[in-house]
Amino acid sequence: MADVVLKDVTKIFDKEIYAVKDFNIEISDGEFVVLVGPSGCGKSTVLRMIAGLEEVTQGDIYIGDKIVNNIAPKERDIAMVFQNYALYPHMNVFDNISFGLKLRKVDSKEIEKRVNDAAEILGINHLMQRKPKALSGGERQRVALGRSIVRQPKVFLFDEPLSNLDAKLRVELRTEISKLHNRLKTTMIYVTHDQVEAMTLGEKIIIMRDGVIQQKGTPVDVYDNPVNKFVAGFIGSPSMNFITGQVEDTQGLLFNRGSLSFPINSGAEDKLKEFVGKDIIFGIRPEDISISGKEKGIPMVVEILEMMGNEIYLHLAIDQNTLIARVPPDTKVEEGQKVKIIFNFPKAHYFDPDSQIRI
């Protein structure tokens, strides 16, 4: 078990591709951290640098309190689950899982025990004699997980370990990984592009974009207080609604976007004053929009109604402006119906259209 620290780490491929830029994170011993971001933002590269599979262009990586920049992967005592499983095709499942232990000269009884324990957790006991070729994608992924678990390393690195599973299995294994972390209390760094996975798993999540950290924090924190428009839009499903409009000052501030105009009353008025006469981006999450039963509210039309079972997604429109609202399943609305909506202003966000930063 160990802390993992990245100090000003930069990775440049082929002298010009900045895959990771000035990356600074401190992960304390036993923490479960999720790195999340869209495809190609450099998540795998960060993980591979920690593992030692990719050289660091600039900066330092510490595992424990040692700089590991020039230490070979096998000396770092980490285990990694690869995005593409990376199982050994000519070895059966048992040999795949136990290979690392055999190389480290672990006693064969101990190997047997650890492999069986891992297989039990992952539900792959019956597959021990099969070759990877004869496994489904999900089974392979579980074998890859098994291979890392038995090692009992200082740090676990997971590169989208659940990406190829069906929804049910994904939820199951997500829970399994959570439990595993609770039991082992080993530092785990988990990469995913799936923000739901990030929200449910992480104690701390780190949101990346184009090789740069956008925000670090607890899931609740990044959800409620996104630092910029990217984070606000990336976290949460369906995404936050964004509307660009003008701030006007007519006895109190007014957000003006033609037919979608409303007074701003969120406690942010002080900061928004300097935007009077300028553009601003208004952001509101789907669950912070509700249908008003009374005459009050902004008029919109329900264009599409998506029944999700436990909730309804309403696609609302007025002129060119569209919004998605998430309302309780018993809401009485129909497609084509004219409704009045109300924003939960304390939960609304405002972004500077130039810097994209939250005001």
Partner 1 sequence: MNRKLSLMGYLMSAPYIIYFIIFSAFPIFFSFFLIFHRWNIVGPMKWVGLANFNMMFSDPLFWTSIYNTIIFLLIHIPLQVVVALVLAEVLNQKIKARAFFRAAFFMPVVVSGVVVTILWKQLYSTDTGLLNNLLMAIGFGKVEWLTSTAMAMPSIALMATWKNVGLYMILFLAGLQSVPAYMYEAADIDGATTLQKFRYITIPAINPVIIMVLILSTIGGFSLFIEPYVMTGGGPLNSTLSTVLYIYRQGFSFYKMGYAATLGFMLAAIIFVVVLIQRKLIEQDD
Ligand X SMILES: Nc1ncnc2c1ncn2[C@@H]1O[C@H](COP(=O)(O)OP(=O)(O)OP(=O)(O)O)[C@@H](O)[C@H]1O
SS3 35: strand
Q: How far is Cα 145 from Cα 82, in angstroms, rounded to an integer?
A: 9
Q: How far is Cα 238 from Cα 202, in angstroms, rounded to an integer?
A: 20
Residue 340's φ and ψ, nearest 5 degrees, are -110, 130
- Residue with structure tokens 């980490």? 78
Q: Which of 15, 39, 126, 167 binds ligand X (CB under 6 A)?
A: 39
* Shortest spacing between CB 45 and ligand X, in angstroms: 3
Q: Who's near 44: CB < 8 A, 6+ residues apart?
A: 83, 159, 191
Alpha-helical segments (H) within the chain: 43-51, 93-103, 108-122, 137-149, 167-184, 195-201, 219-224, 229-234, 269-272
Site string for partner 1, 209-238 (x = CB under 8 A): ------------------------------
Q: Is 179 in the site for partner 1 (CB under 8 A)?
A: no
Nearer to partner 1, 24 or 84 (CB): 84
Residue 307 binding partner per list Mg ion, ligand X, partner 1, none, with a CB distance cut-off of 5 to 8 Å that depends on partner kind = none
Q: Would you say 316 and 301 are in contact if contact means Cβ atoms under 8 Å apart?
A: yes
Print the SS3 string covering 37-81.
CCCCCCHHHHHHHHHCCCCCCEEEEEECCEECCCCCHHHCCEEEE
How far are the Cα atoms of 99, 128, 129 from residue 135, in angstroms, in the given order? 18, 11, 11
Q: Which of 11, 142, 147, 285 binds partner 1 (CB under 8 A)?
A: 147
Q: How far is Cα 243 from Cα 216, in angstroms, rounded to an integer?
A: 26
Nearer to Mg ion, 197 or 288 (CB): 197
- How crowded is residue 48: how many other Cβ atoms within 10 Å of its Cβ? 21
Q: Is 44 in the site for Mg ion (CB under 5 A)?
A: yes
* Shortest spacing between CB 17 and ligand X, in angstroms: 5
Total of chain residues touching partner 1, rule CB under 8 A: 25
Q: Is 42 in the site for ligand X (CB under 6 A)?
A: yes
- Positions in 192-251 near ligand X (CB under 6 A): 193
Q: How far is Cα 193 from Cα 247, in angstroms, rounded to an integer?
A: 35
* Shortest spacing between CB 40 and ligand X, in angstroms: 4
Q: Which of 39, 72, 220, 307 binds partner 1 (CB under 8 A)?
A: 72
Residue 326 binding partner per list ligand X, Mg ion, partner 1, none, with a CB distance cut-off of 5 to 8 Å that depends on partner kind = none
Residue 104 binding partner per list Mg ion, partner 1, ligand X, none, with a CB distance cut-off of 5 to 8 Å that depends on partner kind = partner 1
- Residue with structure tokens 């090789």? 211
Residue 17 binding partner per list ligand X, Mg ion, partner 1, none, with a CB distance cut-off of 5 to 8 Å that depends on partner kind = ligand X
Q: Which of 2, 23, 33, 45 binds ligand X (CB under 6 A)?
A: 45
Q: Is 84 in the site for partner 1 (CB under 8 A)?
A: yes
- How crowded is residue 136: how many other Cβ atoms within 10 Å of its Cβ? 12
Q: Which of 8, 24, 28, 40 binds ligand X (CB under 6 A)?
A: 40
Q: Which residues here bind Mg ion, judged by CB under 5 A?
A: 44, 83
Q: Which residues here bind partner 1, judged by CB under 8 A?
A: 51-53, 72-74, 78-80, 82, 84, 86-91, 99-100, 103-104, 131, 133, 147, 151
Q: Which residues here bind ligand X, judged by CB under 6 A?
A: 13-14, 17, 19, 37, 39-45, 83, 193
